[in-house]
Chain A
Amino acid sequence: MNTLDMFSLKGKVALITGGRTMYGKGCSIALVDAGAKLYLASHSVDAARKTAKELSSRGSEEVEVIEFHQEDPKSIKNMVDYVVEKEGRIDIFVNCSRVIPRGEGRGWFQDEGALEWSVRVNSAGMLYMNMLVGEQMIRQRSGSIINFGSMMGLVGVEKHNYDGEPAMAEGAHSHDYALNKSGIIAWTRHAASYYGRYGVRVNTLCPGGLASDRTPARFSKNYGKHTQLGRLANEYDIRGPLLFLASDASAYITGVSIPVDGGYTCI
């Protein structure tokens, strides 16, 4: 096989949560560009349809939207069942949805409401959807699961990134984000061990901060100094690592968490 063909996703069925914006959109683009049939699960159906239309114009397959609410276990099950009923399989599952906790208090002072929401949605919901997708992949005896950790699952907060940005600094010491992302990284190894005998791979991407038009210039400068490549991530940086883990190019890789952070965590 030609090496580049190992990265092709032609004939593969992919399901992505949170694939409409930011890093998720970069993942969706990579999956479509590589030829996968993509199901885009999102809580914002109208906006997702616009994204799906844009994505469909890039590839040979129509991108389908599934309404999905991570706080609702029935919705999670419906999402998985829908793809299995339509396609009979899920080859690639990319989970990059994370719902910002709904509650009061920021940073260290997050209240019970915010923390409970995060545990219910971002932790329990995450494990539940992985379990359901995993059941299907066990039946197929194949599959690639990719979760989203974060470089904030690997290191603690660098306070000076927020110099001159007090509003951002206030939220930096939250409890739930580090706990959840650290858990995802360890669960990746745990699940890789469980699913390995069925030919199912489980890996995680740990991206750094992503530049957007809302990123304060001062934060970009501070943060850039902490990376080895001197900048925040751009919209293209996630595509290659995602496609590598999704495709057969990484057929012997399971249980790993790859930092995609410009060298933020290497020092």
Chain B
Amino acid sequence: MSILNKFCLKGKNALIYAPQFIYGEEIASGLSEAGAKLWFCGEDTEALRLLEDKLNASGVSIEGVIEYHQGSEENAICLVRKVREKIGKLDIFVDNGSNGLLKGWTHTYEEIYEDLRRTQLGLMLTVKHIGALMAEQDYGSIIFISNYAALVGCDVHKYEDNLEKFDEDFSLTYGFVKGSYVNYTRQAAGYLGEHNVRCNCIAFAPMYDEESEGFSKAFIRHSHLKRMTSAEDIKAAVVFLASDASSYITGVTLPVDGGYTAK
């Protein structure tokens, strides 16, 4: 088999949770371009439909949208039932839901809990049931989407001209949520490995954002490759971990950050 065929996803079915958030559009395009059939799931079906329309218009076909309110066992079981009915064999699951809603450092306990309930409890229940489904199949690749904050702290000095972005990135829960994926990836890989289900995480750098030019410039200055993450970087990394090209890789967090965390 040609090595390029190892990256091919023809005949594979992929489900993406919360693709409307950053990186989701590129993840969907990449999986589709590599030949996978795609489904979306998430709470905000309107946003998912809008993304579906946008991608369809650009030639990326989406097979369907599954409404899924992450955060309860009942809903996770229901998701798996729908996956069995609509998709059949699920080869690839991408979790893109680690985007918290909190901004700023100071919050009430209730605000903190609600943010973690959605991002942490929901994640665990989803992985528990999707993982069990893939274990039954004796095949699967689970990919968590995180970012560089999983590996290093955000740098307060990069936000001097952008207080709004400072409040977004320096939310109390941000580093906790982004970083919780790193060892959860290893933990899940440990349980699912003997069922031939792989579990990996990608820690992307931010994409270039004209509205946060000062931050972007500061970020680029600190990276080895002197640029931010491109659409192609995102597509390639996801396709690599989704495909059999990475069939001996599990439990890793792959930095795709131009070397930002390498120094």
- If A119-B113, A156-B190, A175-B184 touch, does A183 touch B176 (CB 8 Å cutoff)? yes
Selected interface stretch from A33-41, A79-87, A192-200: A192-200
A159 interface residue per 8 A CB criterion: yes
Q: Mark A150-164, 1 if CB is under 8 A from B, else 0.
A: 001111110100000
A255 touches B105 (CB 8 A): no
B37 interface residue per 8 A CB criterion: no
B188 CB to nearest chain A CB (Å): 8
Chain A residues lying within 8 Å of B106, measured Cβ to Cβ, are: 131, 135
Chain B residues lying within 8 Å of A120, measured Cβ to Cβ, are: 113, 117
A123 touches B120 (CB 8 A): yes
B180 touches A116 (CB 8 A): no
- If A119-B120, A189-B175 touch, does A154 touch B183 (CB 8 Å cutoff)? yes
Q: Mark A168-182, 1 if CB is under 8 A from B, else 0.
A: 000001011111111
Which one of A73, A116, A191 has the greatest number of beta carbons of chain B within 10 Å?
Answer: A116
Q: How many residues of A contact B (CB 8 A)?
A: 49
B31 interface residue per 8 A CB criterion: no
Task: List which B224-263 residues lie within 8 A (CB) of chain A.
Answer: 251
A186 touches B125 (CB 8 A): no
A178 touches B184 (CB 8 A): yes
A47 interface residue per 8 A CB criterion: no
Cβ-Cβ contact count across A and B, 8 Å cutoff? 143
CA distance A73 to B132 in the complex (A): 35
CA distance A11 to B121 in the complex (A): 42
A190 touches B174 (CB 8 A): yes
B186 touches A156 (CB 8 A): yes
B173 interface residue per 8 A CB criterion: yes
CA distance A51 to B68 in the complex (A): 49
Which one of B113, B156, B180 has the greatest number of beta carbons of chain A within 10 Å?
Answer: B180
A211 interface residue per 8 A CB criterion: no
Selected interface stretch from B21-29, B146-154, B212-220: B146-154
A122 CB to nearest chain B CB (Å): 10
Chain B residues lying within 8 Å of A131, measured Cβ to Cβ, are: 105-107, 112, 172
Task: List which A178-233 residues lie within 8 A (CB) of chain B.
Answer: 178-187, 189-194, 196-197
A67 interface residue per 8 A CB criterion: no
A191 touches B189 (CB 8 A): no
Q: Which of B120, B121, B175 contacts A190 (CB 8 A)?
A: B175
Chain A residues lying within 8 Å of B133, measured Cβ to Cβ, are: none
B177 interface residue per 8 A CB criterion: yes
Q: Which of B108, B151, B170, B183 contacts A152 (CB 8 A)?
A: B183
A81 CB to nearest chain B CB (Å): 14
Q: Mark A39-65, 1 if CB is under 8 A from B, else 0.
A: 000000000000000000000000000
Residue of A nearest to B184 (CB): A179
Residue of A nearest to B119 (CB): A119
CA distance A181 to B154 in the complex (A): 19
A165 interface residue per 8 A CB criterion: no
Residue of B nearest to A158 (CB): B190
Chain B residues lying within 8 Å of A116, measured Cβ to Cβ, are: 117, 121
A231 CB to nearest chain B CB (Å): 23
Chain B residues lying within 8 Å of A190, measured Cβ to Cβ, are: 149, 153-154, 170, 174-176, 179
Which 4 pairs, one residue from A and one from B, show the smallest C-beta to C-beta distance? A186-B179, A190-B175, A182-B183, A183-B180
Q: What are 22 of the A-B contact pairs (CB < 8 Å)? A: A119-B120, A119-B121, A120-B117, A124-B109, A127-B116, A155-B186, A156-B251, A173-B190, A173-B191, A178-B186, A178-B187, A179-B124, A182-B179, A182-B180, A182-B181, A183-B120, A186-B175, A186-B182, A190-B170, A191-B153, A193-B154, A197-B156
| Residue ranges of B at the interface with A (Cβ–Cβ < 8 Å) | 72-73, 105-110, 112-113, 116-117, 120-121, 123-125, 127-128, 131-132, 149-156, 170, 172-184, 186-191, 251
| Residue ranges of A at the interface with B (Cβ–Cβ < 8 Å) | 73, 76, 107-112, 115-116, 119-120, 123-125, 127-128, 131, 135, 152-157, 159, 173, 175-187, 189-194, 196-197, 255
Known A-B contacts: A119-B121, A193-B170. Give 10 more (CB < 8 A).
A112-B121, A119-B120, A123-B116, A127-B116, A131-B107, A156-B183, A185-B183, A186-B149, A186-B175, A191-B153
